[in-house]
Structure 1
Amino acid sequence: MVQLYTEDTYKVPDEPFFGYLRGPYTYHELSDIDNYAFNLGVEVIPCIQTLGHLGQILQWPRFAHVRDTSEVLLSKFDETYDVTAPFRSKRIHIGMDEAHGVGEGRFREFYGHEEGTKIFVDHLKRVTDICRTMDLKPMIWSDMLFCLAAKNNALHAYYDQNNTAASEHVIDCLPPDLELVFWNYYHTDPEIYAKKLQQHRELGCANPWMAGGAWTWNRLWCSLPFTLESNQASLTVSKRANGGVDHYMLTIWGDEGNECDFFSALPALVFVAHHGYTPAERIDHSFMTHSFASICGGHFDDWVHASKLDEAPPPIHNPSGAPGPDARMLLPPNLSKWLLWEDPFLSFMSPQYTGFDLEDHYQKLSSHLFRAAGQRQRYPLNLRLQLPARLAQVLAHKCHLRERMVYAYRCGNLYQLYELVSTRLEPLIRHTRMLWQYHRALWMYMYKPYGWEVVELRYGGLLTRMQTMRDRIMRYVECQSSKIAGNQQQQQQQQQSQHNAASGFPLPYADSIPEFEEDLQAVYEHAGTMLLLDYGRVTTPSRLG
């Protein structure tokens, strides 16, 4: 089976702002997907949202009347309750996850204060009643039951081994035909999964689903090593004769821009599929890699190797004595993403990788991946390794760049500054442009054009900042060189040319580069490169908006 996740990306009759300018699936497109899958023996299950995660829709004035908070629907309100689906399957995933703040917005203005769990369960009952009238069998993500019980929206509340949602009120009110889906992408200890699955059974769900994650979100390439390790733990429990599950699914999300090539999750899909055909805890790695080559046309180890984009090499020295990550709940870092998008001139995240030789790391990685991508006859799918190869090529030029330029600037070494511009910054601009163009071609090949503007605006901002950085440094070098030479005529000509051709205003900062006079601080002390960060956090130290 495949669950097709949508929030607003499907058309609703007479609702033009539902999926507005987002390329929503039409009824006929969804029907085509269902028919295609049916002919392969695959069940397509619609996976929608019926409470939270609806900020994309609720931003429009058209839907202000059904808004509780900016992300959550207004329960109890009659117009909230409409459902549609053009699929053969009688199963439907109605979401209900991460509906934080339920009942705390406009709901309280209309209906007064009610306990969050009661609001949630009442809303759930009403939605499942609609499903029942349409002969649909619903399932939900289970996190809110646990978070509301703990009165804590943090994920730790969901995974807390001592936090159970099995109160008498919840057990009595949960619809008997409702299936719960336990999603956990973060742990490598099988017993954490085992205990939580048992807590789901205590809620009255005799056969919960288990959902692992292929770490495609908030990055440009799937974090395959951690994906395999965390799913190994959850699959180990799921396959147990006692305490296991019948239904296991691997989720693939596109949070934070959908920058990732979803095909990079294929090794994880093959890994999970192989687990489905053996009762053993471990699968035959050699057989799996041969299967990946035969079915997908790619070299398994090369695809996993591409995940080194987000894995820094061991530090040259580690003066901080930074402790290792907490093994109980791990967030695989997205080093390549925040290195790519951080402002090149300010480079305020660079203290995080002091002591690491990332330049050598990314040069070697880029060379390896370009070679692997060239094996088209034997491994045709390896061609897609061009995305991580081009990204590594960009990062090899970008990392440590400000650090070297600041050193040259403060030493007054104009020649070295000029060399860094010509041998590092200008190639960086060129390779970034090539990465953008390749990424754009990949997107247009796979998807509708809608949504690409989110990623392209990031590339546009990055390239513009690189060009500004190049122009400012070169102007500084030229001005300082003419002063040293004592050429008054050249200085006069230069002063006359120090006007912006577009505006006519004089261009300041010919005598200094203020950005290079700032000493940078480590934003996340002791964390090093083990960080998972969003675009908005790394693009500028100034708050966006």
Structure 2
Amino acid sequence: MNRLNAAIQMVEQTLNLDLSSTSTIKFIHRIDIKGYEILQDETSSTIYFQNLNDAMSALGIWISNPKTEYHYQKDRPIEKVSLMLDTARIAVPKIETLKTYVVILSLLGYNALGLYLEDVFEIKSEPKFGYMRGRYTMEELKELDDFAAKFDFEIIPYIQTLAHLGSIFKHWDYHSIKDIDDILLVNEPKTYELIEHMLKTTQKAFRTKEINIGMDEAWMLGLGRYLDKYGYQDRLTIMFEHLHKVNALCVKYDYQPSMWADMFFHLVAGNYFESNISFNEDIKKKIPSNLKLIYWDYYQTERERYDQKFTALKQLTSNYGYAGGAWKWIGFAPINDVTRRTMSLAIESAKAHQVKDFIVTGWGDNGGEASQFSILPSLVYLIQTIQGDDRIHIDNFLTLLTGHDEANWLALDKPNQLYENLPAIPVNPSKYLLYEDPFLGAANMPLSPIYRSFYQKHVKVLRQISKEYSPYQYVFDTLYKLCEVLKDKSTLSIRLKVAYDEKNIASLSDLAYKEIPNTIRKIEAFYQAFMLQWHKENKPFGFEHHSHRIGGLKQRLTDIANRLDDYIQGRVNEIPELKERIIELANDSYNGLRYLNTYSDLISFGKL
């Protein structure tokens, strides 16, 4: 019981909670039960538990549940449920952020936290590996693992052993092991020296025997220096050659490896999301029996699509898992609504196909802008859906732990919701409308004057929530101030083009001398709020991207105002960009909204 009492104290300290009421609970440790059992009536509370992870799960139910009488037994349709956080796509969460997640996830009933690392961890023998990327030191990783162990909670490393290692190739030290793009050179001895160094390091840092070795999205495998050295080879053969060497290293270090399954689908069918793929027996025989294949999919809105992929996956192996997505990788705001819409169907399918390992991924593509905690309502919803009941009272749980109820947290989706009463699809106007160049526009991006009215409504909602004191007040303040910017910036292109075409000097003057300077001031306020959020949750490394992006946005708007002044004052006769500019006005139900997430594609039609 000393470990249990210590764990409860750590919950109190980490989340700044008063859990003195838990002293009324009778905790009974039993090795003969699987999981936990809660007996609650009007006069007493008893929790039976096997390990501390189960005790914490039961505690999360107890502190959130308003019922006066209930009896719950742990019945996991899916044995292992984890969150994998992206720590490598610019935003590197602080250890304190990860500890907070360990506690929250433990109370929710998750078993593990995965860290997607790429090169963001220190390897003593590789000084350039993760250099200036905010890499975790061995001491930091061990500190986190020790902390999690006090809850019987697992930290799992997700590394890369084939692709997605573009950052290391900025250093000449690694050019000898580069095939093409961000892909390692297969059959090169130094490649396997690096991978072995990765495995040695993670083995020292973490207690777990599990490791994800990546190997996803290596679309150009064998088509660079490998092609130069060996000529064209069957790429599935190259894949297996590499996999067997990496797996041998995993066996050497007593690891139980998993990898993303997409390359097998891609190399056989040419497209990961192709329907009804068949694999022959020869391919199945070459997949190591100790290797778990992870089917990842964040997009489907029809259960049949998930079922098809599981059916195909089972042709390859009986050792498989599933990774869905908590959508926080499309800019500054999440879309929890899309997470719920897609993952509810994925959960149904995963249960039907007897998935035992369910991973929720929190990626950070192209900047890691969204708050690490912006997906909290999704994480509660998903574990509830997996359990198949309402054991955790969502509002009570979130309000107690964060100071905000579910409705407040779901309001974080609003910056991307510029439509009425439609099923959510993944769109991210809050990012691309921020960076869209008012003179140039961006490719494949219809616009609508109605955006302004939506952002006016969103400003009111988020401003009110941002005034409510809580440990997460800063998250709402950031998106409130983003909506303040977008209230005007979202339609600036349209109004600027109309005024120019009509030669309306009064309107152009108002834009140049009043609105654009005012928008720049609002961008500065947003920048300050976003910077506070970043440094509260993440290491400082990586923020330089946003200093350049948002600083560049302010400078570009200043330049545009100056160019307009030249035109208004008659120093130039035309503005070539506005003369050529074509604005496509949206005429669809989603008001032209798109999913455009790559910053460099939003600011120019040219490629550097």
For Structure 1 versus Structure 2, the TM-score category normalised by the shorter chain is 0.7 to 0.9
Please tell me whether residue 427 in structure 1 is matched to residue 518 in structure 2. yes
1: CA distance between counterparts of 2:577 and 2:216? 43
Deviates more, 1:69-78 or 1:85-94: 69-78
2: CA distance between counterparts of 1:183 and 1:369? 33
Whether the aligned pair in 2 keeps the contact of 1:73 and 1:80 (CA below 8 Å) is yes
Amino acid across the alignment from 2:293: L
1: CA distance between counterparts of 2:514 and 2:607? 32
1: CA distance between counterparts of 2:461 and 2:444? 25
Whether the aligned pair in 1 keeps the contact of 2:567 and 2:574 (CA below 8 Å) is yes
Please tell me whether residue 244 in structure 1 is matched to residue 354 in structure 2. yes
Instruction: Find 1:337's aligned residue among 404, 428, 431.
Output: 431
Instruction: Name structure 1 gaps, 5 residues minimum.
Output: 316-323, 481-507
Please tell me whether residue 261 in structure 1 is matched to residue 324 in structure 2. no
Please tell me whether residue 163 in structure 1 is matched to residue 277 in structure 2. yes
Shift of 1:59: 3.3
Whether the aligned pair in 2 keeps the contact of 1:10 and 1:24 (CA below 8 Å) is yes
Residue 148 of structure 1 corresponds to 267
Whether the aligned pair in 2 keeps the contact of 1:37 and 1:44 (CA below 8 Å) is yes
Deviates more, 1:262-271 or 1:293-302: 293-302
Residue 157 of structure 2 corresponds to 46
Amino acid across the alignment from 2:396: H
Residue 517 of structure 1 corresponds to 579
Residue 448 of structure 1 corresponds to 539
1: CA distance between counterparts of 2:173 and 2:152? 40
Residue 501 of structure 1 corresponds to none
Shift of 1:382: 4.3
Instruction: Find 1:202's aligned residue among 294, 315, 318.
Output: 315
Deviations 1:26-76 (A, max 9, x none): 111111111121122210011000011111112322111111112111111
2: CA distance between counterparts of 1:264 and 1:529? 25
Please tell me whether residue 536 in structure 1 is matched to residue 600 in structure 2. yes
Superposition pairs for residues 53-72 of structure 1, below 5 Å?
A: 53-72=164-183
Is the alpha carbon distance of 1:210 and 1:42 closer, same or farther for their aligned partners in structure 2, counting shifts above 3 Å?
Answer: same
Instruction: Find 2:454's aligned residue among 341, 361, 365.
Output: 361
Other structure's SS at 2:184 match: coil
1: CA distance between counterparts of 2:560 and 2:436? 13
Whether the aligned pair in 2 keeps the contact of 1:216 and 1:252 (CA below 8 Å) is yes
The percentage of counterpart residues that share the same residue type is 30
1: CA distance between counterparts of 2:585 and 2:207? 51
Deviations 1:429-461 (A, max 9, x none): 100011111111211121111111112111111
2: CA distance between counterparts of 1:2 and 1:192? 27
Superposition pairs for residues 125-524 of structure 1, below 5 Å?
A: 125-150=244-269, 152=270, 157-164=271-278, 166-204=279-317, 206-240=318-352, 243-276=353-386, 278-279=387-388, 287-313=393-419, 332-348=426-442, 352-354=446-448, 356-376=449-469, 380-477=471-568, 479=569, 509=572, 511-522=573-584
Shift of 1:250: 0.5
Deviations 1:301-328 (A, max 9, x none): 122223121222259xxxxxxxx9xx9x
2: CA distance between counterparts of 1:111 and 1:412? 63
Is the alpha carbon distance of 1:263 and 1:99 closer, same or farther for their aligned partners in structure 2, counting shifts above 3 Å?
Answer: same
Other structure's SS at 1:68 match: strand
Shift of 1:525: 9.9
Residue 490 of structure 1 corresponds to none
**What is the TM-score of this pair, normalised by structure 1?**
0.84
Please tell me whether residue 112 in structure 1 is matched to residue 231 in structure 2. yes
Please tell me whether residue 102 in structure 1 is matched to residue 221 in structure 2. yes
Whether the aligned pair in 2 keeps the contact of 1:239 and 1:279 (CA below 8 Å) is no
Whether the aligned pair in 2 keeps the contact of 1:186 and 1:331 (CA below 8 Å) is no
2: CA distance between counterparts of 1:287 and 1:372? 21
Shift of 1:172: 1.0
Shift of 1:363: 1.1
Whether the aligned pair in 2 keeps the contact of 1:226 and 1:332 (CA below 8 Å) is yes
Amino acid across the alignment from 1:249: I
Shift of 1:296: 3.1
Is the alpha carbon distance of 1:106 and 1:399 closer, same or farther for their aligned partners in structure 2, counting shifts above 3 Å?
Answer: same
Residue 41 of structure 2 corresponds to none
Shift of 1:423: 4.0
1: CA distance between counterparts of 2:326 and 2:250? 29
Shift of 1:333: 1.1
Instruction: Find 2:209's aligned residue among 90, 104, 116.
Output: 90
Deviations 1:480-514 (A, max 9, x none): 5xxxxxxxxxxxxxxxxxxxxxxxxxxx52x4433
1: CA distance between counterparts of 2:114 and 2:445? 42
2: CA distance between counterparts of 1:94 and 1:72? 14
Whether the aligned pair in 1 keeps the contact of 2:212 and 2:257 (CA below 8 Å) is yes
2: CA distance between counterparts of 1:190 and 1:406? 44
Shift of 1:462: 0.5
Whether the aligned pair in 2 keeps the contact of 1:350 and 1:400 (CA below 8 Å) is no
Amino acid across the alignment from 1:211: A
2: CA distance between counterparts of 1:96 and 1:123? 10
Is the alpha carbon distance of 1:290 and 1:407 closer, same or farther for their aligned partners in structure 2, counting shifts above 3 Å?
Answer: same
2: CA distance between counterparts of 1:350 and 1:133? 50
Whether the aligned pair in 2 keeps the contact of 1:188 and 1:230 (CA below 8 Å) is yes
Deviations 1:133-153 (A, max 9, x none): 111110000000111111x2x
Is the alpha carbon distance of 1:275 and 1:412 closer, same or farther for their aligned partners in structure 2, counting shifts above 3 Å?
Answer: closer
Residue 187 of structure 2 corresponds to 76
More strand by percentage: 2
2: CA distance between counterparts of 1:31 and 1:339? 41
Deviations 1:351-392 (A, max 9, x none): 7123x411111011011101011122xx55344211111111
2: CA distance between counterparts of 1:13 and 1:394? 45
Residue 30 of structure 2 corresponds to none
Is the alpha carbon distance of 1:418 and 1:145 closer, same or farther for their aligned partners in structure 2, counting shifts above 3 Å?
Answer: same
Deviations 1:197-237 (A, max 9, x none): 23222212x24111110111131111111011111111112
2: CA distance between counterparts of 1:73 and 1:298? 45
Is the alpha carbon distance of 1:383 and 1:113 closer, same or farther for their aligned partners in structure 2, counting shifts above 3 Å?
Answer: closer
Shift of 1:101: 1.4
Amino acid across the alignment from 2:248: D
Deviates more, 1:301-310 or 1:262-271: 301-310
Whether the aligned pair in 1 keeps the contact of 2:586 and 2:592 (CA below 8 Å) is no
Other structure's SS at 1:251 match: strand
2: CA distance between counterparts of 1:80 and 1:94? 14
Is the alpha carbon distance of 1:226 and 1:351 closer, same or farther for their aligned partners in structure 2, counting shifts above 3 Å?
Answer: closer
Is the alpha carbon distance of 1:370 and 1:392 closer, same or farther for their aligned partners in structure 2, counting shifts above 3 Å?
Answer: same
Other structure's SS at 1:159 match: coil
Cα RMSD over matched residues? 2.4
Deviations 1:328-355 (A, max 9, x none): xx9611111110011133335697123x
Residue 492 of structure 1 corresponds to none
Is the alpha carbon distance of 1:93 and 1:248 closer, same or farther for their aligned partners in structure 2, counting shifts above 3 Å?
Answer: same
Amino acid across the alignment from 2:433: L
Amino acid across the alignment from 2:418: A
